[in-house]
Amino acid sequence: MQHVAIVTGANSGIGRATAVHLAANGMRVFGTARNLQSTGKLEAMAADAGVTVEVVPMDVTDDDSVATAIASVIDTTGRIDVLVNNAGIGGNGVVEDCTPAMLQSVVDVNVGGVLRCVRAVLPTMRAQGSGAIINISSVAGRIGILAQAPYVASKWAVEGLTEQLALEVTAFGVRVAVIEPGVTKSAIFAKNSDLPETSGAYDAHYRRMLQFYRSGLKHATDPFEVAALVYEVVTTDTPRLRYSVSWGGPELCDGRAQMDDDTWVDIGRATTDDDYYGRFEAAFGLPIGPDAP
The residues annotated with a catalytic role in the active site are: 151
Type and span of the H or E element at 52: none
CA distances from 187 to 23, 73, 180, 261 (A): 22, 27, 17, 33
Determine whether 116 is exposed, middle or buried from the number of CB atoms within 10 Å of its CB (0-12, 13-18, 19+). Answer: buried
Element (H, E) at 279: helix 273-284
What is the layout of strands, in order, in the sheet containing 28-33?
53-57, 28-33, 4-7, 82-85, 131-136, 174-181, 242-245
What is the spatial distance between Cα 51 and Cα 54, in angstroms, rounded to a whole number?
A: 10
Dihedral angle computed from the Cα positions of residues 147, 153, 156 and 158, in that order, rounded to the nearest 10 degrees: -130
| Residue 222 DSSP class | P
